Chain A
Amino acid sequence: MKRLAMLLALLAASPVAAVMPDEMLPDAAQESRARAISKDLRCVVCQNQSIDDSDAPLARDLRVLVREQIAAGKSDAEVRDYVVARYGNFVLLKPPVEGDTLLLWLGPFAVLLLGGIGIAFWQRRRPTSTQDAAPLSAAERAELDRLAGSDN
């Protein structure tokens, strides 16, 4: 048992993720709100980890801070604003939609749209379009299917 205690002492800082039982709020609803908020806040000293996933001491401080704010009766938005006021937008894992981040939010949709326009234009530019030909009649299609034996 003494060796076990020594090992436990050596294993001081746990690599296991995050939230500890002693940080949790007694109220289950408040605790689940805290978890949800924590998942959207970045551990500012870690690489791309939320404070909910991180075992860094600073993440723990921030988790406790979030819970204190919730216990004090603040709304989710107020808690977030409070944290952003202290750490800046850097702390948000979901960056706000602003002038600077428009490309980030709309870029993928722009790729889709511009790509679609480009291809439509490419197709339209062709001298002839297959759309001009009349579609096959049901009888013609049945005959074709019979001849082909399958649709591949």
Chain B
Amino acid sequence: MLAEIGHFALILTLLVAIAQSVLPMLGAIRGDAALMAFGRSAASLQALLIAISFGSLMTLFGQADFSVKLVANHSALSQPLPYRLAATWGNHEGSMLLWVLVLSVYGAGIAKFGDNLRATLQARILSIQAMISVAFLAFALFTSNPFERLFPVPLDGAELNPLLQDPGLVFHPPLLYLGYVGFSVTFSFAVAALLEGRADPAWARWMRPWVLAAWIPLTIGITLGSFWAYYELGWGGWWFWDPVENASFMPWLIGTALLHSAIVTEKRGSLAGWTILLAIMAFSLSLIGTFLVRSGILTSVHAFAVDPERGVFILAMIIGATGTALAMFAARAPMLKSGALFGSVSRESGLTMNNLLLMALTAVVFLGTFYPVIMEAVSPANKISVGPPYYNLVFVPLATPLLLLVTIGPMLAWKRDDLATLGRKLLVPTAIVAALLAALVLAFGWQQVVAALGLALGAWLVLGAVLVLVRRWWGAGGFSLRLVRTTPAATIGLVLAHAGLGFTTAGIASMTSFAAEKILVMRPGETAVAGPVSVKMLGAEEVDGANYRALRARFTVAQNGREGLLISERRLYTVSGNQTTEAGIGVSLLGNQYVAIGDVQQDARGQGLVVRIYWHPLVGWIWFGGLLMAMGGCASLADRRFRIGAPQLRSPLAPTLVPAE
């Protein structure tokens, strides 16, 4: 019964979305307030209906109702309840439903919190949101119905991949979706601005919180995903340049560019066309991220053909949304008023450089991800692979100037600045970082000069962020509490995010150069050393978990005279036969000790257990930096400027100015 309720609610959602995609738009064109108001009610109704549908599916998973095919295929009775519930979105159909749920909730958000928006703009945005909804709801209903029944009903289901049975993975996909789908809102803002032929500072100010609302969960999601890979995959890698990771990284890079270019549009009215273009690209890349990756096209062109119905639908959606928006951009961009001019040395030009470099970095990831597929399609005889060595070689030289610029940018004045003033401001941080660099080179030697440069770059970023506060708090008359009190939340956001980037940079530099490892066969009582870490194996035994059996090894770990106990497991999930590794990780501020166990093997001294011991210096800084960036986003979002409404010209509604679609 519940499955039918969920299915029915899903169909109703589609009907509401169809009405919402047409009527408010019509209202905006005709200046009909009632039709525009309908858009707001419809958006809330849509969210309510899809919530009922999603809630039904989640309850079915909770009840372990194996008469529903999806539940039977993706959960088992032996699975703990939280993971059964999380299995709702641990599969294609369920995650599609989550996608439309998030989409509708954002739509309802625009209806609820968009009181200060121009009524016509809000109506158009809601209509465009609904058009996206229609496409995805139709996709869910016609190609991936989550409520399909199964007969005969099995006694138990097939298990969710145990790798995914982990708290990190419970929250990872919803966070990424919040990010991906959040960019649908900025996409709608961009298209609505093109329809109205107007992208002014007020528009940018309205849009900025929504950019942040997408960027923050995406940042946390990527950070969490990286952390999950680190402790679950068994050898402490934290980023793999895997297509799935790249898929979330591309919208993040473009989203970051959008975040910055929207500032220019908000403060100075410039770069409006550029901001619109970035908003379109961020959503396109999000679509690519969610769906092309799922379609299997990245594994091989041929995998795409296994499920052509879904694949073609997805491709049509991506091309339809992106193509239409870009065509409109080409037609309307020249109509957009260009804002204030700016000099070649100015905050605006700094942010333009930021945008260009972020675009180039996105191009690195995009080409690296899709080039092998394109090559396979164009010349199958000459297949290539693109992996970490390519990214390291091309990404780093483009990322370095961007990171250098992060500290310089906030020092620049809006509109026009000159190099002499900038030079004076840069004197102190440059001197400090140069001294640090010299000290690092002295400490580690010339062989580790790359690591020293990376760490110094991290310090440069953190210092640059701190200096923003210092300059803000020390006015012409010295330090002033009034200046501290009146610091806008957005400034705090900038400081946190830029400092976070510094911590991440330092962590990456340290991990790249100073990580140590030792792989060997150990027997109880034996000791091994990796870098500064000394590990002694105590013993190994079998243990039983809720739905798995495990081999558990215990170790004592000594470093700098301090000892600790680490436990490492290899689990066998009894239903599916899948295996996972649970590494033992000793966490500290300066780095992690990491011990993972493997097979039984013979070496010169007899039979023992393969043990991998790692020392990961500053690895935690990578994720700490990511979280700090997200916190910076939150601080920015809290800025009261976003709540008191945007300054706008009092102009009468002028529907006649708006050409028909």
Decide: A16 near B371, CB < 8 A? Known: A21-B603, A90-B384, A112-B359.
Answer: no
The answer to whether A126 and B341 touch (CB under 8 A), given A21-B519, A47-B299, A112-B360, is: yes
Chain A residue at smallest Cβ distance from B353: A116
Asked if residues A130 and B416 are in contact (CB atoms below 8 Å), the reply is: yes
CA distance A129 to B340 in the complex (A): 10
Indicate if B393 sits at the interface (CB-CB under 8 A): yes
Residue of B with least CB distance to A6: B542
- Is B332 part of the binding interface, using a Cβ–Cβ cutoff of 8 Å? no
CB <8 Å contact, A103 and B367: yes
Contact partner, B356, options A24, A48, A112, Cβ 8 Å: A112
Binary interface profile of B, 565-583, with partner A (CB < 8 Å = 1, else 0)? 0000010100000011100
Q: Is B382 within 8 A of A48, CB to CB?
A: no
The answer to whether B599 touches A151, judged by C-beta atoms less than 8 angstroms apart, is no
B596 touches A16 (CB 8 A): yes
Chain A residues whose CB sits within 8 angstroms of the CB of B598 once the complex forms: 14, 16, 20
8 Å CB interface, B104-159 against A: none
Of chain B, the residue at the smallest CB distance from A150 is B475
Cross-chain contact B367 with A107 (CB below 8 angstroms)? yes
B260 at the A/B interface (Cβ < 8 Å)? no
Instruction: Judge if B241 is at the interface, Cβ distance under 8 Å.
Output: yes
A95 close to B234 (CB less than 8 A): no
From A16, A100, A111, B359 is in contact (CB under 8 Å) with A111
| Residue among A17, A108, A133 making CB contact with B367, cutoff 8 Å | A108
B496 at the interface (CB under 8 A from A): no
Which of A4, A126, A135 is the most central at the interface, judged by chain B CB atoms within 10 Å of its CB? A135
Interface range for A: 35 or more
Chain B residue contacts of A91, Cβ below 8 A: 385
- How far does the Cβ of A147 sit from chain B's closest Cβ, in whole Å? 10
Whether B542 and A104, one on each chain, are in contact in the complex, defined by CB atoms closer than 8 angstroms, is no
Residue in chain A with minimal CB distance to B341? A130
Task: Classify chain B's interface size.
Answer: 35 or more
Residues of B within 8 A of A20 (CB): 519, 598-599, 601, 610
Pairwise interchain contact A16-B385, C-beta atoms closer than 8 A: no
Indicate whether A89 sits within 8 Å of B382 (C-beta atoms), given known contacts A7-B551, A22-B603, A105-B394.
yes
Interface string of B380-402 (1 = CB under 8 A from A): 00111111111001100010000
**A3-B542, A14-B610, A145-B476 known; A50-B600 Cβ under 8 A:** no
Contact at A108–B386, with CB atoms within 8 Å? no
Q: Do A111 and B341 have beta carbons less than 8 Å apart?
A: no
How far is the CB of A144 from the nearest CB of chain B, in Å?
Answer: 10
| Pair A16/B342 contact, Cβ less than 8 Å | no
Q: Tell me if B233 counts as interface (CB < 8 A to partner A).
A: yes
Contact with A along B358-369 (1 / 0, CB 8 A): 011101100110
A-B contact pairs, 14 of them (CB 8 A): A4-B542, A11-B579, A14-B570, A14-B581, A15-B581, A22-B603, A24-B519, A48-B385, A48-B387, A93-B385, A100-B375, A104-B367, A108-B398, A130-B415
Other than A7-B572, A20-B601, A105-B394, give 19 A-B pairs with Cβ distance below 8 A: A10-B549, A11-B551, A14-B610, A16-B599, A17-B234, A18-B235, A20-B598, A93-B386, A93-B388, A95-B384, A100-B384, A103-B371, A104-B368, A108-B367, A108-B398, A111-B363, A119-B352, A130-B342, A146-B476
Binding site for A on B (CB under 8 A): 233-235, 237, 240-243, 299, 338, 341-344, 352, 356-357, 359-361, 363-364, 367-368, 371, 375, 379, 382-390, 393-394, 398, 413, 415-416, 418, 421, 471-472, 475-476, 483, 488, 491, 519-521, 540-542, 549, 551, 570, 572, 579-581, 596-603, 610, 612
